[in-house]
C-alpha cells in the first residue's frame, strides 16, 4: 500500500521550504539597492547612516508586529545566545565592512567581503541534516569567480602590506555574515520578530561608533527620505526575510544566489548613471547566473507509475 499521507507531508514540507527560499531571496534584491542609496545620501558618514537606517528598520518591525496583533515584548524575551548572534551578526558585520573600506582599496576589500556567499554554502554542509554536494560547491566557486571579476574589473588582486588590516577586516566581515546566516538555522525557535530588536541594538551601537569616530552631518529632507528607504529595505526588511530564508529555506541555494547582490548593485548604479557598463560586467553576469543555476539545480527524478 502506498502511504499517500506521508507523500503529502513531504510535498507540503518541500513547498514550504521553496516558499521560504523565495522569501529569503527577496533580501538579495533589497541589498542590491544599498550601494545606490548610500551614494545618493552624499556626505553622511557610514555609522551615522547605519544608526538612522537600523533605527527605522527596527521601529518598522515593531509596528508590523503590533499591526498583526503580536506582542513586541514576547519577541524581546530571547535567550542570550540569540542576542549575541543577532546583534553580533548585524553590527559586527557592518563594523568590519566599513573598517575594511576605510583601510583598503574598495575593489579588493569588496572581493574579500563577498566570500560570504561561498562561506554560507560551505558552512551549511556542517549543519545537522545538511550535506555539501559537489554541485553546490562548483556553483559557489563559479559565482565567486564572477564576483571577483566584477569587483576587480579584471585587473587582478594586488596585496600591499599596508592594506593588510583592511583585508583582514574584510575577511572578518565575510566570516561574520557567513556564520551569522548559517547559525541562524540552529535557532529556529527564535521568532523572526526578534530581528526588530536586534536592529535597534545595532542602531544604538552604531550611534556610539558614530559619536566616537565621525562628525555629525545633519541630513536634509531628501537625505532623510533616502535614510528612511534604507531602513524600510536593505537595512530593514531585508534582514527579516533573510532570517526566514536561513531558518526555513534552502540554505545552499540562497548562498549561491547571494552572488547576484554585487551584480544587481552594479547594474542599478549603471542605470542611475553612477557607473559605466563594460564587457567585464557582462562576463560577470554570465558567471554569476551560471553559478546560481549550477548550485540550485535539482534534476527531477522520474518515478514509475504505480
Convert the pLDDT of each residue in 89-141 to its tens digit.
999 998 898 888 778 877 777 778 888 888 888 888 888 877 778 888 888 88
Alpha-carbon dihedral angle through residues 76, 77, 81, 85, given to the nearest 10 degrees: -10
What is residue 129's DSSP assignment?
A: T
**Which tens digit of pLDDT belongs to each residue from 201-216?**
999 999 999 999 999 9
Query: Which long-range CB contacts under 8 A does 154-163 form with residues at least 24 apart?
Result: 154/280, 155/107, 157/108, 157/111, 158/105, 158/108, 159/108, 163/103, 163/104, 163/105, 163/108
Q: What is the grid cell recorded at 201?
A: 541594538
The rounded distance, in Å, linking the Cα atoms of 260 and 32 is 8
pLDDT of res. 8: 46
> What's the whole-number mean pLDDT along residues 218-247?
94
Tell me whether residue 130 is in a domain: yes
Residue at 120 is within a domain: yes
pLDDT at 193 over 60: yes
Quote the number of domains for the chain. 1
Q: What is the structure's pLDDT at 12?
A: 53
Indicate whether 203 belongs to any domain.
Answer: yes
Residues 23 and 28: their CA atoms lie apart, in Å, by 10
The C-alpha cell at 210 is 558614530
- Specify if 76 maps to a domain: yes
Q: Which value, in Å, is the radius of gyration of the alpha carbons in the chain?
A: 20
Alpha-carbon distance 206 to 268, whole Å?
27
- Nearest in space to 195 (alpha carbons), one of 49, 52, 47, 87: 87
Query: Residue 137 is part of which domain span?
Result: 19-296
Q: Is 4 contained in some domain?
A: no
Residue 249: the pLDDT is 92
Residue 1 lies in a domain: no
Amino acid at each position: 500500500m502506498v502511504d499517500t499521507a506521508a507523500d503529502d507531508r513531504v510535498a507540503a514540507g518541500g513547498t514550504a521550504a521553496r516558499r521560504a527560499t523565495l522569501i529569503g531571496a527577496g533580501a538579495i534584491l533589497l541589498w542590491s539597492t544599498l550601494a545606490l542609496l548610500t551614494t545618493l545620501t552624499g556626505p553622511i558618514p557610514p555609522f551615522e547612516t547605519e544608526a538612522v537606517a537600523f533605527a527605522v528598520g527596527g521601529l518598522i518591525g515593531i509596528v508590523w508586529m503590533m499591526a498583526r496583533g503580536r506582542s513586541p515584548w514576547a519577541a524581546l524575551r530571547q535567550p542570550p545566545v540569540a542576542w549575541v548572534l543577532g546583534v553580533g551578526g548585524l553590527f559586527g558585520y557592518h563594523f568590519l565592512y566599513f573598517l575594511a573600506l576605510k583601510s583598503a582599496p574598495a575593489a579588493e576589500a569588496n572581493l574579500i567581503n563577498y566570500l560570504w556567499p561561498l562561506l554560507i554554502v560551505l558552512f551549511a554542509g556542517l549543519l545537522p541534516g545538511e550535506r555539501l554536494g559537489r554541485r553546490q560547491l562548483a556553483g559557489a566557486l563559479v559565482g565567486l569567480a564572477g564576483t571577483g571579476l566584477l569587483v576587480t574589473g579584471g585587473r587582478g588582486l594586488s596585496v600591499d602590506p599596508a592594506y593588510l588590516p583592511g583585508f583582514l577586516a574584510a575577511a572578518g566581515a565575510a566570516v561574520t555574515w557567513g556564520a551569522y546566516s548559517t547559525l541562524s538555522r540552529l535557532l529556529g525557535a527564535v521568532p523572526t520578530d526578534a530581528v526588530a530588536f536586534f536592529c535597534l541594538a545595532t542602531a544604538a551601537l552604531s550611534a556610539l561608533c558614530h559619536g566616537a569616530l565621525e562628525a555629525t552631518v545633519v541630513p536634509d529632507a531628501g537625505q532623510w527620505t533616502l535614510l528612511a528607504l534604507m531602513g524600510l529595505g536593505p537595512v530593514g526588511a531585508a534582514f527579516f526575510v533573510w532570517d526566514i530564508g536561513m531558518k526555513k529555506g534552502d540554505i545552499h541555494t540562497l548562498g549561491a544566489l547571494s552572488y547576484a547582490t554585487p551584480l544587481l548593485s552594479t547594474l542599478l548604479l549603471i542605470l542611475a548613471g553612477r557607473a559605466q557598463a563594460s564587457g567585464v560586467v557582462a562576463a560577470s553576469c554570465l558567471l554569476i547566473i551560471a553559478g546560481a543555476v549550477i548550485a540550485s539545480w535539482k534534476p527531477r527524478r522520474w518515478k514509475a507509475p504505480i
